[in-house]
């Protein structure tokens, strides 16, 4: 139903620590196990995950988790999305996802949605799906205290994996729904994205495979064309089932073996090519408007070859990145606390982009009529980090806060929601990201964070805040179209910030103790017991 472009262009939320994932039950001795200090080792997999692959290539990830109780999250992930469509299929990965709700072998026509709704599962809110470039994901949260309903939930997943009916009458009915979705999108953001993403994707295959597709294909494709896509790509070696919840894992593993072992791989399976976005080593510019866009927003996006999290070294680097994001985030929060901040909102961070790329970004939501001022203010902050780096005291605070959050996550691990685990396992299946679990991550951070130096964080800034592969995207209300700056004007803003006299950031918060001199210890001069509440009041001589 949804189209997910994965990469959140409008990153208005200040970056938070990358600890939302994790959550592992490991034997207690795991806590004292030494983490190797120098050589990179492959990260272990959380021992609480039951994972396996059937002989047909179908993968599964199962975990017991009782937050919330009596419920489970069922996710079917497929490593196939719009990027695999041929010219005649543009838009059909997403169309196929819709068709999964319009009849399957065991739930013909709209019986699936009706059945689930009768069981209290809301279409859209609970039962949902999304299509992106490289993946299609179906989700079904389901009660586990009704064995029949749970069994049917697994059956629905099995039907989606390979038994969608693709009834031609239902397809005809769905064309209008999808064309309407294409026309309206999910609002201004999506309409504008459809205009500027091809540029951000450097005219690679991604530029021509926006999941919504083309009118021509959506109106005219025939049954054979969509069936071909389904047969080619909905196959066990590209699929995984994730089940996290209040379940008996052994029993669920058996159910998966019983239900999914008969999935067929095509006789001559097509190669699942991994596409990439080549870096062009040039800078690009685009401005787009939409009648429903309330503000003027400018984004600076500097693309880089991506990073992954598979080894201990990768994990340490991802912590350095978190510390960087936290420190730059704090500087922007400080700016926002000024009496008259130069923008409505400003931020900057380093994160993942798409197709294996990373991006260093800066975003400004400008005050009305003050795009230049806001843009320059965000750029100045970025330039300051690039020129002078961060201070030792900023780093110490960031480390402390990182470790505190890690500790909190570790202490609260029994309250981690099933939904969080599912997101982590999705990344493991789709992107090969390691999932070592919270015990490991907590121990790792305690051992490794203290040794991270300010130079390492500053090097990251120097590597990512470069002047090539930089895209500028301006999004604005339609009525402002005439007053928007051209590429040349924006370039002159950038040039002026680069040559500007910027002074280094001064950390106003010190690590000095609150009171610098030691207080002279006093004596207890009076002692009074307050009756009834068990409190003793002491009065000291000083």
Instruction: Catalog residues that contact Zn ion under the rule CB under 5 A.
Output: 1, 181
CB of 498 to Zn ion, least distance (A): 43
For 396, half-sphere exposure in the C-beta direction (CA atoms, 13 angstrom radius) is 8
CB of 131 to Zn ion, least distance (A): 7
**536 vs 76: CA distance, rounded Å:** 60
226 versus 243: smaller Cβ distance to Zn ion: 226
181 versus 358: smaller Cβ distance to Zn ion: 181
CB of 93 to Zn ion, least distance (A): 11
160 versus 390: smaller Cβ distance to Zn ion: 160
SS3 readout for 239-306: EEEEEEECCCHHHHHHHHHHHHCCCCCCCCCCCCCCCCCCCCCCCEEEEEEECCCCCCEEEEEEEEEC
β-bridge mates for residue 240, sequence order: 59, 77
CB of 181 to Zn ion, least distance (A): 5
Question: Which residue number places its CB atom closest to Zn ion?
Answer: 1
184 versus 489: smaller Cβ distance to Zn ion: 184
CB of 194 to Zn ion, least distance (A): 14
CB of 94 to Zn ion, least distance (A): 6
CB of 1 to Zn ion, least distance (A): 4
218 versus 293: smaller Cβ distance to Zn ion: 218
The sign of the CA dihedral 165, 166, 167, 172 is positive
CB of 301 to Zn ion, least distance (A): 26
CB of 234 to Zn ion, least distance (A): 17
Q: Which helix (H) or strand (E) holds 524?
A: strand 524-530
CB of 151 to Zn ion, least distance (A): 28
Cβ neighbours for 524, distance < 8 A, ≥ 6 positions apart = 538, 539, 540, 541
Please tell me the total number of residues recorded for the chain in this structure.
542
Cβ neighbours for 103, distance < 8 A, ≥ 6 positions apart = 109, 110, 111, 112, 164, 165, 166, 167, 170
180 versus 292: smaller Cβ distance to Zn ion: 180
SS3 readout for 44-94: CCCCCCEEEECCCCCEEEEEECCCCCCEEEEEEEECCCHHHCCHHHCCHHH
101 versus 390: smaller Cβ distance to Zn ion: 101
CB of 233 to Zn ion, least distance (A): 17
* Alpha helices (H) in 163-263, listed in sequence order: 168-184, 188-200, 215-220, 223-233, 249-260
217 versus 357: smaller Cβ distance to Zn ion: 217
82 versus 239: smaller Cβ distance to Zn ion: 82
β-bridge mates for residue 139, sequence order: 75, 128
Q: Are 309 and 434 in contact (CB under 8 A)?
A: yes
**133 vs 265: CA distance, rounded Å:** 22
**CA separation, residue 117 to residues 70, 112, 127, 165, 522 (Å):** 18, 9, 9, 20, 70
1 versus 40: smaller Cβ distance to Zn ion: 1
> For the CA atoms of 285, 291, 295, 301, what is the dihedral angle to 10 degrees?
-20
Q: 498: closest CA among 475, 470, 474?
A: 470
3 versus 382: smaller Cβ distance to Zn ion: 3
Is there a cis peptide before residue 349, judged by omega within 30 degrees of 0? no
């Amino acid at each position: 139903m949804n189209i997910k472009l994965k990469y959140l262009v409008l990153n208005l939320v200040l970056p938070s620590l990358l600890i939302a994932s994790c959550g592992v039950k490991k034997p207690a001795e795991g806590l004292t196990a030494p983490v190797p200090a120098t050589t990179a080792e492959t990260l272990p997999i959380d021992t609480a995950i039951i994972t396996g692959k059937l002989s047909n290539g179908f993968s599964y990830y199962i975990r017991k988790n009782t937050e919330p109780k009596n419920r489970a999250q069922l996710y079917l992930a497929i490593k196939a999305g719009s990027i695999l469509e041929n010219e005649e299929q543009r838009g059909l990965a997403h169309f196929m996802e819709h068709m999964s709700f319009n009849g399957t072998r065991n739930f013909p026509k709209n019986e699936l949605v009706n059945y689930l709704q009768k069981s209290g599962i809301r279409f859209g809110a609970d039962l949902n799906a999304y299509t992106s470039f490289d993946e299609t994901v179906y989700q079904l949260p389901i009660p586990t205290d009704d064995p029949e309903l749970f069994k049917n939930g697994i059956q629905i997943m099995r039907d989606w994996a390979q038994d969608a009916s693709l009834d031609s009458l239902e397809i005809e009915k769905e064309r209008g729904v999808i064309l309407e979705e294409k026309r309206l999108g999910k609002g201004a953001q999506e309409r504008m994205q459809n205009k500027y993403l091809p540029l951000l994707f450097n005219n690679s295959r991604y530029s021509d495979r926006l999941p919504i597709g083309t009118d021509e294909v959506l109106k005219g494709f025939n049954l054979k064309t969509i069936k071909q896509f389904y047969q080619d790509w909905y196959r066990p070696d590209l699929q995984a089932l994730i089940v996290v919840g209040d379940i008996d894992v052994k029993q669920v593993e058996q159910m998966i073996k019983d239900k999914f072992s008969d999935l067929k791989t095509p006789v001559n399976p097509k190669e699942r090519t991994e596409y990439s976005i080549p870096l062009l080593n040039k800078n690009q510019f685009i401005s787009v408007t939409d009648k429903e866009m309330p503000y003027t927003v400018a984004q600076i996006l500097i693309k880089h070859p991506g990073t992954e999290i598979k080894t201990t070294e990768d994990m340490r680097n991802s912590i350095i990145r978190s510390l960087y994001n936290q420190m730059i985030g704090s500087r922007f929060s400080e700016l926002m606390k000024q009496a008259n901040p130069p923008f409505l909102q400003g931020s900057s961070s380093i994160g993942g982009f798409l197709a294996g790329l990373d991006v260093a970004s800066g975003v400004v939501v400008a005050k009305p009529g003050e795009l230049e001022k806001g843009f320059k203010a965000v750029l100045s902050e970025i330039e300051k980090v690039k020129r002078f780096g961060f201070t030792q005291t900023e780093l110490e605070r960031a480390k402390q806060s990182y470790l505190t959050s890690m500790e909190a996550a570790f202490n609260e691990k029994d309250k981690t929601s099933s939904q969080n685990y599912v997101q982590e396992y999705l990344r493991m299946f789709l992107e090969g990201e390691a999932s070592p679990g919270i015990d490991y991550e907590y121990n790792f951070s305690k051992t490794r964070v203290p040794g991270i130096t300010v130079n390492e964080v500053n090097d990251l800034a120097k590597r990512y805040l470069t002047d090539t592969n930089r895209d500028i995207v301006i999004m604005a209300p339609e009525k402002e179209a005439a007053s928007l700056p051209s590429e040349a004007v924006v370039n002159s803003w950038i040039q002026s910030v680069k040559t500007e006299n910027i002074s280094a950031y001064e950390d106003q918060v010190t690590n000095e103790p609150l009171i610098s001199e030691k207080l002279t210890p006093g004596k207890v001069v009076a002692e009074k017991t307050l009756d009834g509440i068990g409190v003793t009041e002491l009065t000291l001589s000083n």
